[in-house]
A and B are shown apart, each in its own frame.
Chain A
């Protein structure tokens, strides 16, 4: 069964460092998403991406965050200068259309020290 893969599974970084989380969505999917879950809190929407541009973003997704689809397969989330409060599990997801079921990856756990 096709799946969304995410790397790394766990990353530890120092505050102020740049982090890039990588995702390989399902090959025929057109919509891509990033969510995050701070420990013990809700899974929160960050951003959706379609046709090589951001289609929606939440208030969490500020100037420190960016997304990119650098080639035909990868979808990345960059955090420019990490803060302690960026520590969370980050989930990538993809879907065939904007009104369809999302398929999620296993997540990347980011720990900022």
Chain B
């Protein structure tokens, strides 16, 4: 079975600073990988996804993530954080074949200081 680890519960950055949120997964084959964001009072919104191909994936709101098979990682990055990026970020992994049920991590809470 697949699993996801987000080792950081909270991350605090200053506005304008760069950001990297960590995600490690466990899955026997090449997985589908996702990052979702949840702003207060909102649903989980898809930021980006990796299914195959280029391992550097661009998403919405200026986010990108890189799939590194050797490290079983799919870290989320943003070069310059805005105050509106403060939210909960969830990494998820889904099986690449058969029944599709994504497994989520516990989330990382991003705090942005002015």
Interface pair A35/B41, CB less than 8 Å apart: no
Is residue B46 contacting chain A, with contact meaning CB distance below 8 A?
yes
Interface size class on chain B is 20 to 34
Does the CB pair A35–B43 fall under 8 Å? no
Q: Using a CB–CB distance below 8 Å, which chain A residues touch chain B?
A: 3-4, 6, 9, 33, 35, 37, 40-45, 48, 55-56, 91, 93, 98-107
The answer to whether B36 touches A104 (Cβ under 8 A) is yes
Contact across chains for A3 and B100 when beta carbons are under 8 A apart: no
Interface set, chain B 60-83, CB cutoff 8 A to A: none
Contact residues in A for B34 (Cβ distance below 8 Å): 101
**Chain B residues with Cβ under 8 A from A100's Cβ?**
100
A56 to B94, CA, bound (A): 14
- Whether B107 is near chain A, meaning CB under 8 Å from some CB there, is yes
A11 to chain B, nearest CB (A): 16
CA distance A99 to B34 in the complex (A): 13
